[in-house]
Chains A and B, each alone.
Chain A
Amino acid sequence: MAALLGRSCRRFGFLSSGHGARSVSTETGKSLNLYSAINQALHIALDSDPRSYVFGEDVGFGGVFRCTTGLAERFGKNRVFNTPLCEQGIVGFGIGLAAMGNRAIVEIQFADYIYPAFDQIVNEAAKFRYRSGNQFNCGGLTIRAPYGAVGHGGHYHSQSPEAFFCHVPGIKVVIPRSPREAKGLLLSSIRDPNPVVFFEPKWLYRQAVEEVPEHDYMIPLSEAEVIREGNDITLVGWGAQLTIMEQACLDAEKEGISCELIDLKTLLPWDKETVEASVKKTGRLLISHEAPITGGFGAEISATILERCFLKLEAPVSRVCGLDTPFPLVFEPFYMPTKNKILDAIKSTVNY
């Protein structure tokens, strides 16, 4: 499916990592795309901890998106390997390894195929520590999975399943927006003492290129970042969708609307304070994600901000999201929360 990305995308540009990433040094690195940045993070993770492992379907030859290229050659087949085609097996095996004090960095080939592992993630990984009174934990587990639309993935190569996992106390959910962010957030996720589900925007694997520091650095989890400052409305998003939102911000600016854009980065547990502070300043909030609107993570953000900022809000919270349908192949351009839908929503929220 790697060629999914080879074809031209209707969307263009991408949102580079801003200045705000605290642990990223000012040292400039090489220009890297997102899959290469992930690859670099995995090299560092395996190199810096001899008890770390990388495995999943087809990772041995580099993975269908090339994220694991060169790892098996460098670190050997005992630490980097193909698994049988079984997601529940991959995650369960990872939990076992992690429970023994190792770092298990597992790949689910597509987020759309994470569901066979749902039980292992929700009932096992997430509750391992709690149910044992902290006698056991599987904090060394990190589950990587490419997610999101690419233009022609249809039902099963396009989904954004983050909301399911945001409903599960005990795991963290992280989604990077760019190569530099991906590297730093992935290293933090791998080293975080809790199981983490790490969704990678596959649309950006090749598309997004920026300078990525070569050294080992981490970007803190559960810290959102204001990637664009503004006064009239706060926009909150994550992953690939931020690119679209940024374009809407630029267009809105031309019409005299000043937008503040926040990258949530970690969806669980999420940084309410940063969003709250921004909304208290702007008085308006718009959330956008590709996943269907109903029960999406936007609903959680909306409810929280209503609780915290009720008297400061000058308009209802707006959500521009995927439709409540399965992900449709030929109708994808209609399904998507496009720049124009966002721009319309910005205007009607500001003019409420």
Chain B
Amino acid sequence: MAIWFARSRNLVSSLRHNLCTSTILIKRDYSHRPVLTTSHQLPSTVFSSPFVASLLRHESTAVEKQPDELVLHSDDQEEALQELDFPGGKVGYTSEMKFIPESSSRRVPCYRVLDEDGRIIPDNDFVPVKEKLAVRMYEQMATLQVMDHIFYEAQRQGRISFYLTSVGEEAINIASAAALSPDDIVLPQYREPGVLLWRGFTLEEFANQCFGNKADYGKGRQMPIHYGSNRLNYFTISSPIATQLPQAAGVGYSLKMEKKNACAVTFIGDGGTSEGDFHAGLNFAAVMEAPVVFICRNNGWAISTHISEQFRSDGIVVKGQAYGIRSIRVDGNDALAVYSAVRSAREMAVTEQRPVLIEAMTYRVGHHSTSDDSTKYRAADEIQYWKMSRNPVNRFRKWVEDNGWWSEEDESKLRSNARKQLLQAIQAAEKWEKQPLTELFNDVYDVKPKNLEEQELGLKELVEKQPQEYPPGFHV
């Protein structure tokens, strides 16, 4: 017992020591002491309403100072009377029996920069975007729209077996990508092809994956839209939801150990936050102090499941604090807000070696996928509202146009070029042959084990014997 207490006391004093050193740093960057230790130091009254602190968060990208210095200066004797000396840090006592409420009376506000008409809201705190960057962002958002439209149609025509659009989420896709460094490692869910587009994945490369042809990096093994690019630091998409989150913590930890000037960035939907892996990912990143930016696209729906059936918290943003992770809620249909928040989060993650959580409020305007008909479970006017009044691409376009950086002529040129390029890409992708049959057996392991060698041999014999039984276009 004695040892136990001594240990915990030492831990507290070492935490204190760390706090002091980090306090000095605070003045220079917008850091403050680790959230974990501060909450243990809070006086009970503050501790019982932590929501106040989170409500204050959004006035700037800087993390709010919390009123914990008060406790730091109280003398030891008094503290001993008022605090529970607990492993990991002292906890203040209170004689008031008060439960922390299930939510704060006010919902966490949503950080935005542009109003609905694409005008910058005065006195706003954001990272400026210059003409060249802004135009490129707009171009990519529009290209993503064209790509979605054409691939969706190709699926309807039966040319590809499946597709899934990002309609309504173009700003999150492109603005988050624009805010990252190309060295940041992206672990996507599946509704973020814009990140790959931004990084230089060509329309041909997208088409090759969807057609599963010989040029597809995934060698035709996965369903359409399961892109991946080692060259572009974009992990290959896997359909199982949320599995990428704990992996992102591991990726971030590796970057940390190698002292890289980069972080892991992982995307997840609102539905995905219900999986156990969401908890694992956030908790690991926090405990391991891994530079990871978690971006949750809260688009209101997980297939037919409305967010009210998914969680009863005030969305995702409030979950950060429970893990000791900084978080911000941002208007996901405001490209400038997304850009600013992701850039700042990335900066914090890399310079302070810590995870950050972003909840981007948006809407899945399209069906879940080509296998879904969302009119079965949601109101048409809800879709219409988000498609028209809250359209992220139109909003950003207004801002770019108001700055005189974009014209009607640029618009039609861009769209018709993108269209042409895509149609060409699809035609070419369709003509490519498939991977040779041997690729069925490669990459299961680094080298083919004996059982697979035998199976390959057996299969090739069969195909040569009865070629009519197998689809054409595969080199045996």
Contact = CB atoms under 8 A, between A and B. Distances in A.
Interface in A281-337: 294, 323-326, 328-331, 333-335
Interface in A327-352: 328-331, 333-335, 338, 340-341, 344
Contacts of A155: 221-223, 238-239
A335 B437 CA distance: 10
Contacts of A328: 220-221, 440
B444 A331 contact: no
B275 A85 contact: yes
Interface in A68-101: 81-89
Contacts of B469: 338, 340
A84 B223 contact: no
Interface stretch (B124-132, B303-311, B335-343): B303-311
A323 B376 CA distance: 39
A4 interface: yes
Nearest to B449: A324
A320 B314 CA distance: 53
Interface string B453-476: 001000100110010011100100
Given A60-B304, A113-B240, A86 B466 contact: no
Given A61-B376, A156-B238, A325-B452, A85 B302 contact: yes
B220 to A, nearest CB: 4
A64 B367 CA distance: 13
Contact of A324 (B455, B462, B466, B470): B455
A83 B309 CA distance: 7
Contacts of B459: 323, 334
A324 B452 contact: yes
Q: Secondary structure of the B side of the interface?
A: loop
B124 to A, nearest CB: 35
B241 A85 contact: yes
Given A88-B276, A324-B444, A333 B471 contact: yes
A1 B368 CA distance: 9
B71 to A, nearest CB: 38
A216 B459 CA distance: 46
Contacts of B238: 155-156
B440 A334 contact: yes
Contact of B466 (A62, A85, A340): A340
Contacts of A333: 470-471
Interface residues on B, range: 35 or more
A152 B435 contact: no
Contacts of B439: 331
A73 to B, nearest CB: 13
Nearest to A5: B371
Contact of A57 (B305, B376, B437): B305
Contacts of B32: none
A100 to B, nearest CB: 22
A69 B180 CA distance: 44
B158 interface: yes
Contacts of A60: 304-305, 309
Contact of A326 (B220, B221, B377, B471): B221
Contacts of A211: none
B440 A152 contact: no
Contacts of A156: 223, 238-240
A330 B370 CA distance: 19
B272 interface: yes
Given A328-B221, A331-B437, A58 B303 contact: yes
A334 B223 contact: no
A58 B371 CA distance: 14
Interface in B366-402: 369-372, 376-377
B132 to A, nearest CB: 39
Contacts of B369: 1
A330 B452 contact: no
Given A156-B239, A323-B459, A328-B440, A85 B271 contact: yes
Given A154-B226, A324-B451, A330 B466 contact: no
B476 to A, nearest CB: 9
B451 A294 contact: yes
A230 interface: no
A187 to B, nearest CB: 26
A152 B222 CA distance: 9
Contact of B444 (A61, A82, A325): A325
A250 interface: no
Interface string B230-242: 0000000011110
B162 A152 contact: yes
A60 B305 CA distance: 8
Interface in A141-176: 152-157
A346 B398 CA distance: 69
Nearest to A88: B276
Interface string B426-443: 000000001101011100
A192 interface: no
Which of A87, A329, A344 has the most C-beta atoms of chain B within 10 angstroms of its own C-beta? A329
A144 B372 CA distance: 21
Given A84-B274, A330-B435, A154 B470 contact: no
B309 A330 contact: no
Contacts of B61: none
Contacts of A329: 212, 220-223
B371 A2 contact: yes
22 contacts: A3-B371, A4-B162, A7-B158, A57-B302, A58-B303, A60-B305, A61-B304, A61-B376, A84-B311, A85-B272, A86-B275, A88-B276, A156-B223, A294-B451, A325-B441, A331-B221, A331-B435, A331-B474, A334-B463, A334-B470, A334-B474, A340-B462
Top 4 A-B pairs, shortest CB-CB distance: A84-B274, A330-B220, A156-B239, A154-B223
Given A325-B444, A340-B469, 19 more contacts: A2-B372, A60-B305, A81-B309, A113-B241, A115-B240, A116-B240, A116-B276, A152-B223, A154-B223, A155-B221, A155-B223, A155-B239, A156-B223, A323-B440, A324-B444, A330-B220, A331-B220, A334-B437, A340-B462
Interface of A: 1-4, 7, 57-58, 60-62, 64, 81-89, 112-113, 115-116, 152-157, 294, 323-326, 328-331, 333-335, 338, 340-341, 344
